Structures are given as C-alpha cells and as structure tokens.
Amino acid sequence: MCFSNNNPDFYIQTKGMNAGKPLKNPIPNSIGIIADRKKLIPEYLFFVVHYLHSIDAFKPFINGVAIPFITHKNISTVINNHFLKS
C-alpha cells in the first residue's frame, strides 16, 4: 500500500471527525491509496479500511483540537496492525 493521488484505487479522509473513512471519490483533505496488487485486491483493502473505520480503529490516532486530523503514518500503522493480528 502506498499513498498517491496519481491514479489511486480509493481515498481516505484525513481531516475532520470522519478521518480514516475510505472514499470512492476524492474530497478536499483526502489522500489516495494504491494497493499492492501482488498482495491485496484493491476492493478488499477498501473494505478492510471501511471495517477499521466502523470499529473506530483510527480514533485513538486522530489529533488536533480545532481541526481533527490523522497522519499518513498513523493510517499505515492502523492498517498494518490489523494485518499483523490476522
């Protein structure tokens, strides 16, 4: 998995109360995700991120007082930790 807005498979919202939410279309304050197709089907990774967002796995990593945000490093940490536990 890598972050890039150049032909991504899907997007993740990086700011606001929904930080960590996967998106099919870009919005301001979102980052593109490209799945490593040798290891994961992009649609599967999208639903893994959707699941992680639904169980509030990103919440402990959301920072900021006025504008909540999550860093790319923290997004990677949450996703990688999920696969390491599997």
85 pLDDT above the threshold of 90: no
Question: Domain limits at 29?
Answer: 2-85
> For all residues of the chain together, what is the average pLDDT?
93
List CB contacts of 50: < 8 A, sequence separation 6 or more: 22
pLDDT in tens, 28-65: 999 999 999 998 899 999 999 999 999 999 999 999 98
pLDDT in tens, 55-68: 999 999 999 989 99
User: How many domains is the chain built from?
Assistant: 1
List CB contacts of 24: < 8 A, sequence separation 6 or more: 10, 11, 46
pTM, 2 dp: 0.90
Distance CA 19, CA 41 (A): 23
φ/ψ of residue 76, rounded to 5: -60, -40
Q: What is the pLDDT of residue 9?
A: 96
From the number of C-beta atoms within 10 Å of its C-beta (0-12, 13-18, 19+), residue 56 rates as: exposed
The CATH number that applies at residue 81 is 3.90.220.20
